Amino acid sequence: MRTLVICVDRDDDIGEKTGLETPILGRERSIEAVTRLGLEDSEDSDINAIFEAVKIYDDLKSRNEEAVEIALIAGDKNLGVDADLKIGEELDEVLESTNADSVILVSDGAEDEVILPIVQSRVKIDSVRRVVVRQSEPLESTFYMMKKLIEDPKFSHTFLPPIGLILFLLALSLIFELSDKAIGLILAAVGIYTLLKGLGRESMLKDLLELIKQSLYSGRMSIVTYIASFIFALVGTFQGMVGSWDFYTKMPPEIGGFLLPGVVFVRCAIWWYIGAILVHLCGKIMYMLIEGERIVTHWAILFSVIASGILVWGGSESILLLNGGNYPMAYQTLFLSLLGAIILSLMGVKISGYARAITSREKGDMGLEAEEE
């Protein structure tokens, strides 16, 4: 029975720091390698592992002169699959040259012991010796655990985005001298993230960015309509805030409370919001026309959006008129807005039905032509 003592350097510190090629076979060459590694980097933990391998080799050699050999095996600095493949190749080479029946594995920490399945698939392992400098063992174990957690997609995708967002907002608050508002920004951002995470919509922003990127690459108009819609919504929000604040400052506190400023906000902002939706719909319709597609349901949606805007505006205007005591005008405005919304909705349904009928007729004609051919 021949026993092989192997020391594994998974990140190839030996090759990177000393320039030596692995595998390294024999006691003298191992001593030479560890000496050169110590001269290059005296703090490298692989030094202790190699010396331990030599010590184990000497102990076994003193019992049986011919039945033991020592070898140093290295992986790759990039770790991962590349390192494991290189370790497997070097181990095959060493086993072939030594004809070893079993091995004693010596490593410098938990990361090197990842290669245990690789060794076990090729030869029997009699013992595993992990060498860690006493004062650094907790630090190395903690570092390894943190590294594994960060590499785990479930952990990194859940916990790292909020941490990165908090650090980013802190940096912005320091750059723009908004330290007093930093806590508010952080709470708002974390609150939004928690809300999206709870609703299962945490990928919404990523999907939006991906859609914008695809629109840019494909040359579609949707990116322009997205930006225009965002601007319309932003202007509408600002317009609504200005109108509601102006109304609140001029309104006696006992009348309407906080309800009426909200109604004013809706009345001032609604057409900007409707415009944002219409810009997006019109962009989509233009794209469909360019591509030669038939527009069917979009007509109904277009008219329904305008009808909804009329209805919401009429309702908010009626509330304000009622608050001012102008009851006839309030009822008239509500009735006309409701009538206009119904007429526009019916027009959209009619146009959509007409477009659907034309499309069905064209498909039928194409089917008859195919049958005749």
Flag whether 138 is in a domain: no
What DSSP letter does each residue of 296-361 carry, written as one string? -HHHHHHHHHHHHHHHHHHHHHHHHHHHTT-HHHHHHHHHHHHHHHHHHHHHHHHHHHHHHHHHHH
Domain check: are 213 and 172 in the same one?
Answer: no
Flag whether 219 is in a domain: yes
Domain check: are 278 and 361 in the same one?
Answer: yes
Flag whether 147 is in a domain: no
Secondary structure in 3-state letters for 7-65:
EEECCCHHHHHHCCCCCEECHHHHHHHHHHHHHHCCCCCHHHHHHHHHHHHHHHHHHCC
Domain that holds residue 220: 204-372
Is the CB of residue 15 less than 8 Å from the CB of residue 36?
no
Flag whether 275 is in a domain: yes
Domain check: are 114 and 166 in the same one?
Answer: no
pLDDT tens digits along 176-224: 776 666 676 667 667 766 766 666 666 666 666 666 566 555 555 566 7
Instruction: Find residue 207's DSSP bridge partners.
Output: none
Flag whether 139 is in a domain: no
| Residue 249: per-residue pLDDT | 74
| Whole-prediction pTM | 0.43
Least confident of 7-11, 88-92, 310-314: 7-11
Q: Which of 181, 198, 215 is the last residue of a domain?
A: 198
Is the CB of residue 15 less than 8 Å from the CB of residue 74?
yes
Domain check: are 80 and 185 in the same one?
Answer: no
Domain check: are 104 and 169 in the same one?
Answer: no
With bands split at pLDDT 50, 70 and 90, how would you rate the model's confidence at 304?
A: confident
| Residue 81: per-residue pLDDT | 80
Domain check: are 119 and 192 in the same one?
Answer: no
By percentage, how much of the chain surpasses pLDDT 70?
69
Domain check: are 181 and 302 in the same one?
Answer: no
Flag whether 128 is in a domain: yes
pLDDT tens digits along 329-342: 888 888 998 998 88
Number of independent structural domains in the chain = 3
What is the SS3 assignment for 81?
helix
pLDDT over 80 (residue 281):
yes
| Residue 288: per-residue pLDDT | 72
Domain check: are 221 and 273 in the same one?
Answer: yes
Flag whether 237 is in a domain: yes
Flag whether 96 is in a domain: yes
| Residue 179: per-residue pLDDT | 66
